[in-house]
Chain A
Amino acid sequence: SQQGEEDPQALSIQEGENATMNCSYKTSINNLQWYRQNSGRGLVHLILIRSNEREKHSGRLRVTLDTSKKSSSLLITASRAADTASYFCATVPSGTASKLTFGTGTRLQVTL
């Protein structure tokens, strides 16, 4: 079963615009990670935010975490065509140290 759900399921924007994706999860966590996947290939780690952090930046990425609402958001600023991919949030549910559980993903399409 999926631990998290991303919203929206699909997002289409123009190059230069910002893209925001949201993730909700079900159980308490130690950290939350975001991954990107291009066209059904392997996943690439983007950013990790710990449960005691509220916001984290990495280049054009900004991630927020609200543990009280069990939700996170990923903002990609000044998007580029190369950002076209599926984006997944992932957590390790309490009591399962070895199991990384992914959400359903947001498919982002950035057009020129």
Chain B
Amino acid sequence: DAGVTQSPTHLIKTRGQHVTLRCSPISGHKSVSWYQQVLGQGPQFIFQYYEKEERGRGNFPDRFSARQFPNYSSELNVNALLLGDSALYLCASSWGQWAQETQYFGPGTRLLVL
């Protein structure tokens, strides 16, 4: 079975631009969560979606938005990029809606903002 997949693997953008990151969960998983991991730190929660509805939001500005599609895949959008948005963006999926369940992570998208 395929694991969680994310695209692209790497991305370079300049300040002020917009970026869209994509995630496909494990087949049968209905929950997708997004995390930002800055170098040297642990992942920070951005969003959780379950059954196409937002179920949780972390302390991130409104420049960050996400959505989940009927096939449970998800997109994370970041507008007006700042240098501080440079990070590894991780997507995780699980079967149910609770974060207390085991989360299955994708390989991440490494974003560099110049």
Contacts and interface: CB of A to CB of B under 8 A. Distances in A.
B105 A99 contact: no
B103 interface: yes
Contacts, number: 74
B42 A99 contact: no
Q: Specify which of B4, B50, B56 lies most central, judged by the most chain A CB atoms within 10 Å of its CB.
A: B56
Interface string B71-114: 00000000000000000101010000111101111111010000
Interface in A9-24: none
A43 B90 contact: yes
Nearest to A104: B42
A22 to B, nearest CB: 15
A96 B56 CA distance: 8
Interface residues of A, number: 25
Given A42-B108, A43-B90, A97 B58 contact: no
A100 B73 CA distance: 20
Contacts of B4: 42
A43 B100 CA distance: 15
Q: Specify which of B37, B88, B90 lies most central, judged by the most chain A CB atoms within 10 Å of its CB.
A: B37
Q: Which 9 A-B pairs have the closest CB atoms?
A: A98-B56, A102-B42, A42-B105, A98-B48, A100-B99, A43-B105, A42-B107, A98-B55, A99-B45
